[in-house]
Amino acid sequence: MTDFVLDEFLPYQLAVLAERTSREFSALYRERFGISVAEWRVLAHLSQSGTVGVREIHARAAMDKSKVSRAAARLQAQGLIAKKTDPRDRRLVALSLTDRGRALVDQILPLARAYEAEVEARLGPARASALREALQALQKGGSQ
Amino acid sequence: MTDFVLDEFLPYQLAVLAERTSREFSALYRERFGISVAEWRVLAHLSQSGTVGVREIHARAAMDKSKVSRAAARLQAQGLIAKKTDPRDRRLVALSLTDRGRALVDQILPLARAYEAEVEARLGPARASALREALQALQKGGSQ
DNA sequence: GCAATTTCGTTGCACTTGCAATGAATGCCG
DNA sequence: CGGCATTCATTGCAAGTGCAACGAAATTGC
């Protein structure tokens, strides 16, 4: 009964755009390299942080830990990552890229940069950086 | 190797935030009203446009048409929407809210506005409108 | 007017996902 | 030290999802 406009509702807007961009980008690696979005996300994390636990990806990427766990299992089965239990805390699983995994990431990263550039071109530099800034702020949870 | 920073990669950033906000918001209606995110999205569309086809929601909300179709089936089973075939074009299915559906939407909308307000408060007005503006722009420039 | 093509929504099927429960390992605190 | 609570990652299971295939209906081009 009110002035609610779906197209301006943030969760909706974010979901639509996330779906579109993730899908658009995944088209670039999906069939060519045979990995899914969830798997790419795990790989990307590993390429950033070297060796990471399931828990950390779960928290940072907002993926359910079972989703991370299973994506990791699939990647391991493909020989792209290694899983070994941390000797200091044997509950933890240390994920890391294998050589093949690193090689794959190195093939995908240029695609990621290209896609990023294309999106920025669509937006224009001013809006692009404003978007980035706002998204970062939202992530932190505050207005700082 | 490169200057790729996952936290600044747009598809990733959007996916993380979309997941977080959708989940956070859905917590407000999910168990209370027993509907899922997909179902809420269909309801929200109907509340905006009166009577809509599956195809339109599919296109605008970036939901697979089977996802829309099945969400609609579940909503119909719950008596929240009505499905009738368009007499002018009998391939089309016209979705519309039932009275019960309208009543449910009227209960959820205040929650949506409250959540929206909270997010805006987190961001601050300047960033909030910048975000909105950028997201709108991305929507227009994207693929259909 | 009719065959070929396109559009629309649904469905079969394999796979993924979310959630809760589990097992293993650690931390806590008396 | 020893029991209890907590933290991790995995897994069972039901439900949801994506994709391709399908049937029905409309549109196109001849």
Q: What pLDDT does B141 receive?
A: 66
* Cβ-proximal residues to B72 (8 Å cutoff; 6+ apart), any chain: B42, B54, B81, B83, B93, B95
- Could B14 and A22 be called an inter-chain contact, meaning their C-beta atoms sit closer than 8 Å? yes
Q: What pLDDT does B3 receive?
A: 82
Angle at B1 between CA A92 and CA A30, to 5 degrees: 70
Domains and CATH numbers, chain A: 6-140 (1.10.10.10)
| pLDDT of A144 strictly over 80 | no
| pLDDT of A142 strictly over 60 | no
* Cβ-proximal residues to B140 (8 Å cutoff; 6+ apart), any chain: none
- A1 pLDDT tier (thresholds 50, 70, 90): low
| pLDDT of B39 strictly over 90 | yes
- Please check whether strand D approaches the CB of A82 to within 7 Å: no
Percent of chain B with pLDDT over 70: 96
* Average pLDDT of the segment spanning B15-32: 96
Q: Could you report the per-residue pLDDT of A86-115, keeping only the tens digit for each?
A: 999 999 999 999 999 999 999 999 999 999
Angle at B95 between CA B110 and CA B41, to 5 degrees: 40
Which positions on chain C have an atom < 7 Å from some protein CB? 7-12, 16-20, 23-27
| pLDDT of B2 strictly over 80 | no
Residues of B in contact with A11 (CB under 8 A): 18, 21-22, 24-25, 115
- B142 pLDDT tier (thresholds 50, 70, 90): very low
Residue A16 burial class via C-beta count within 10 angstroms: exposed 0-12, middle 13-18, buried 19 and up: buried
